[in-house]
Structure 1
Amino acid sequence: MSPLNTNDLHRIFEKLDQNGDGFVSLDELRSLLERIGVHSTQEELQALVGKTRLDLIDFLCFYDTNVKQNNGHDQIVEGENEENDDLERDLAKAFEVYDLNGDGYISCEELRSVLSRLGFWSEGCGRDCRSMINVYDMNSDGLLDFDEFKNMMLVTNS
């Protein structure tokens, strides 16, 4: 069987994310693995994954790592690793543009300010920054942290 492409993996991720929160939990992942004949405990899976839930990037990396190990390629291909690093750096730079006060979060006011400066916001346009943030605000604190921002950018651009 040939490795799945990114579009296939994105569709699988969306199917696994049963509650639509933008993350695949270990339970959701374990359910898939059991359907294909791979049985593990919650603890074994958490030790393998290293997290209690995976966003899309984590899921892609998890798949990529496991396919390479199963195909006898224990080392990550340098070009792909650099591509992931470049994407992460670009997202971090974009996040810094919006995080005007450097506190590690994007507030409604910061989002409105940057969108205004970029010409994507006018006071009468009817959009609400708070509702824009709430779509990707997984912990409901009214702010976007880097992981939430990354998820927003990757979902929007996929």
Structure 2
Amino acid sequence: MSPISQDDLHRIFKTLDKNNKGKVSVHELHRLLDKIGIHTTFEELEKLVGGSNLDYIDFFFFYDAMVKAKIAEHEANDDDNNTNDDLFKAFKVFDLNGDGYISCEELQSVLTRLGLWDKRNGQDCKDMIRVYDENSDGVLDFEEFKNMMSVPSSSSSDSEI
């Protein structure tokens, strides 16, 4: 369920419950979180907890919610990193000379090799680049390429009907 066992969590609760009333104050919780590097204001923590103290069940659910939030944050970061890694690999396919930019010639060369470029269609690759070239330098850097790749495809299932 969570990285800390219920027994360990209960011991932590008992240690925080200095007056043995079966409750941990938000002040005590705030000090503990601060010591372990989780910095928040007392007011934010009190609002998150929903009061000025927690019994063991509330403490357990608070901890469990924090663990789940941390796992979700970690998974979201992993997804972002995997997406960026994949996009960077695709970028390198187009950046034939390895200078960190995709030029019109590089774009046309790769699209031709993939069978996606037809010189007879009259389309100029400069026009394709210009749409996503935010700094108007005539080439695409990685950020501009990411923006281009994040644009949803114009062919949707509605157009197939």
**Structure-2-length-normalised TM-score:** 0.51
Specify the alignment match of 1:112 in structure 2.
108
Deviation at 1:118, TM superposition (A): 0.5
1:85 matched to 2:118? The reply is: no
Counterpart among 104, 128, 131 of residue 135 in structure 1: 131
CA distance in 1, matches of 2:119, 2:77: 42
Q: Residue 79 of structure 2 aligns to a residue in which SS?
A: helix
- What stretches of structure 2 of length at least 5 have no aligned partner? 1-46, 49-64, 155-161
Deviation at 1:156, TM superposition (A): 3.6
1:154 matched to 2:144? The reply is: no
Q: Deviation digits for residues 76-128 of structure 1, max 9, x if unmatched?
A: 62211111000000000000000000000000000000000000002111111
One-letter code aligned to 1:120: L
Give 1:6-17 correspondences, 5 Å limit: none
Q: Residue 81 of structure 2 aligns to a residue in which SS?
A: helix
Q: Could you tell me the percent identity over the aligned residues?
A: 56
Counterpart among 91, 94, 100 of residue 95 in structure 1: 91
One-letter code aligned to 1:101: N
CA distance in 2, matches of 1:119, 1:111: 12
One-letter code aligned to 2:107: L
User: Using CA pairs below 8 Å that are at least 6 residues apart, which structure has the higher relative contact order?
Assistant: 1
**Structure-1-length-normalised TM-score:** 0.52
CA distance in 2, matches of 1:150, 1:125: 26
Deviation at 1:138, TM superposition (A): 0.4
CA distance in 2, matches of 1:82, 1:116: 34
Q: CA RMSD in A?
A: 2.3
One-letter code aligned to 2:114: L
- Of 119-128 and 130-139, more deviation after overlay is shown by 119-128
CA distance in 2, matches of 1:97, 1:157: 20
Q: Residue 150 of structure 2 aligns to a residue in which SS?
A: helix
CA distance in 2, matches of 1:133, 1:121: 14
- What stretches of structure 1 of length at least 5 have no aligned partner? 1-69
